[in-house]
Amino acid sequence: MTSSTITINPTAVDVKVTDETLTVSLSDGRVVSVPISWYPRLSHALQVHREIWEFNGAGHGVHWPEIDEDISVENLLFGQPSGESSSSLTKWKECYKQKNFHGDDA
């Protein structure tokens, strides 16, 4: 018996970020919502910076230029949280705080 695999590569068509979730609407009609805690840069960033995003790879990913974060649709579909190390996140937090001139924890 043979089977065939259909490859579907949906793209992102809309993005919403709240204090609790990252929600991405896909071109095939699905909506994927994951805890924002999966992506520490998003969870530690100011809401104003979470709202500045752009598609990359023709919608196969989302990029937040003010946060220096990239998340692929594929990783969202596979339920893959950020793999960033704690030391990398610590360095990012320091740079982010300095860039945004505020003294509280980002």
Distance of CA 32 to the CA centre of its chain: 12
Segment 8-67, tens digit of pLDDT = 789 999 999 999 999 999 999 999 999 999 999 999 999 999 999 999 999 999 999 999
- Domains of the chain: which residue ranges? 12-100
- As beta bridge partners, residue 27 has none
Higher pLDDT, 5 or 44: 44
pTM: 0.85
What pLDDT, on the 0 to 100 scale, is given for residue 100?
Answer: 86
* φ, ψ dihedrals at 62, nearest 5°: -125, 140
**What is the rounded CA–CA span in Å between residue 30 and residue 67?**
26
What pLDDT, on the 0 to 100 scale, is given for residue 6?
Answer: 54
Run of H or E residues at 69: strand 69-72
Question: What homologous superfamily does CATH list for 12-100?
Answer: Uncharacterised protein PF10387, DUF2442 (3.30.2020.40)
Q: How confident is the model at residue 82 (pLDDT cuts 50, 70, 90)?
A: very high
First to last CA, the chain: 56
What pLDDT, on the 0 to 100 scale, is given for residue 77?
Answer: 96
Structural contact between residues 106 and 61, judged by C-beta atoms closer than 8 angstroms = no
